[in-house]
Amino acid sequence: MNGVKERELINEIRERNIEKSSGLRKNVLMSEFTTFRVGGPARLFFEPEDENILIEVLKLFKEYDVPFQIIGNGSNILVRDEGFDGAILRIGKSPNEVEVSGNNLNAPAGVLLSYVSKLALDNGLSGLEFASGIPGSVGGAVFMNAGAYGAEVSDIFKSSKILYLSNFKIEKTDKSKMDFSYRHSILENEDSMPTGIVLSAEFELKFDDKEKISERMKDYNSRRIAKQPLNLPSAGSFFKRPEGNFAAKLIEDSGLKGLCLGNAAVSEKHAGFIVNRGGASASDIIMLMNIVRETVYDRFGVMLEPEVRIIGE
Ligand SMILES: Cc1cc2nc3c(=O)[nH]c(=O)nc-3n(C[C@H](O)[C@H](O)[C@H](O)COP(=O)(O)OP(=O)(O)OC[C@H]3O[C@@H](n4cnc5c(N)ncnc54)[C@H](O)[C@@H]3O)c2cc1C
């Protein structure tokens, strides 16, 4: 990122008096904003407090030619050790409350899935049980059609307010336009950058007995505790499920369970997870990822695709 442009952008932000509302900070360590707990500094970091400021900031990025990346709760990203030489835009602030009306639940993008699923339970609404243990935001979950235990976002998704990056227009987008499939939505791009920013999502749930909803949540969460290395930082399952197979099984059958590189390791508990054993670098994790991909390919002819998005040069 060009230093002159950076200074001009910051001056413009100060002149417009939006420094505070845009959440502007400089040289922010991304290890603090990712569940992997790794990642170097983002040169600029923004967390706009509402949609208008978000649009204003995006327009300024365009005007000053600032490369940027969007993040939610950072539970499915890996930021390189060199950091990101541009602006990270975190969709975290949620000025609006989650609204529950009948069997519909409308949540701002920055709200955590654990929070909305608990709220659904409190209102006797079923459908979000699968999401209660996923440590992501509503926006991140819609973007990648998050799912678990045979359910996924698309099952309950009704519509989203999306800010499209091609024209900075906000449109209410319903399910038929989302092109949902396994860990995919229309917002996914070739690179890690979404084509639009989810601002909120409306879920259509079903009335059910609170006890039954609570039992299902407890069941899913105890299965997670039993099978996943939740005591160590990670980004969840590192690889997408290859068609007709399971990444964890292929990795385990390739003899890679427990393999370490520096402080990164293929989890002993769940071979689909790469974990940070403490002080791992992003390059350890990326090298380990490559070893896993190559070994599984040599052994089974399957090239695993990362589900985790890698940010940085
Ligand atoms: C322990 C653990 C368990 C996990 N279990 C599961 C699981 O069971 N199922 C599952 O699907 N995932 C799982 N994950 C992965 C992750 O939690 C989900 O993918 C989650 O939906 C990511 O949301 P996020 O807000 O953290 O997104 P981030 O990691 O911040 O971002 C991920 C992608 O989403 C985009 N994005 C984020 N917010 C928005 C937005 N508002 N609008 C548009 N794009 C956006 C980003 O640009 C990025 O490309 C797990 C992760 C961990 C650490």
Q: What's the 20 CA to ligand 1 centre distance in angstroms?
A: 26
Range list of β-strands (E), 37-192: 41-46, 68-71, 77-79, 84-90, 99-101, 104-108, 125-126, 147-148, 151-152, 157-164, 169-174
Angstrom CA distances, 250 to 151, 227, 270, stand at: 23, 17, 12
Per DSSP, helices labelled H in 16-169 are: 51-63, 113-122, 138-143, 153-156
Give the mean pLDDT of 120-135: 98
Residue 174 lies in a domain: yes
Q: What's the confidence (pLDDT) of residue 192?
A: 61
pLDDT at 97: 87
Of the residues 183, 216, 293, 309, which is catalytic?
183
Arithmetic mean of pLDDT over the chain: 96
Q: Which of 21, 55, 90 is the last residue of a domain?
A: 90
Atom of ligand 1 nearest to the CA of 109: 41
Instruction: Please report the pLDDT score of residue 169 as a whole number.
Output: 95
What pTM value is reported for the model?
Answer: 0.96
Instruction: Please write the tens of the pLDDT for every residue from 275-286.
Output: 999 999 999 999
34 and 74 in contact (C-beta within 8 Å)? Answer: yes
CA-angle at 29, arms to 23 and 30, nearest 5°: 85
Same domain, 235 and 304: yes
Helices 113-122 and 210-227 pack at an angle, to 10 degrees, of: 150
pLDDT at 183 > cutoff 80: yes
DSSP 221: H
Same domain, 130 and 85: no
- Residue 183 is among the residues annotated as catalytic for this protein: yes
Q: Which atom of ligand 1 is nearest to the CA of 146?
A: 11
pLDDT band at 94 (very low <50, low <70, confident <90, very high): confident
pLDDT tens digits along 285-309: 999 999 999 999 999 999 999 999 9
Which entry of 117, 234, 237, 254 is annotated as an active-site residue? 237
Residue 307 bears catalytic tag: yes
Describe the crossing of helices 3-15 and 51-63 by its angle, rounded to 10 degrees. 140
Q: How many domains does the chain have?
A: 3
Other C-beta atoms within 10 Å of 95: how many? 10
Of the chain, the percentage scoring pLDDT greater than 90 comes to 94
Average confidence (pLDDT) over 61-83: 96
Q: Are residues 133 and 188 in the same domain?
A: yes
Give the chain's radius of gyration (CA, Å).
20
CA distance 290 to 256: 12
Domain that holds residue 54: 3-90
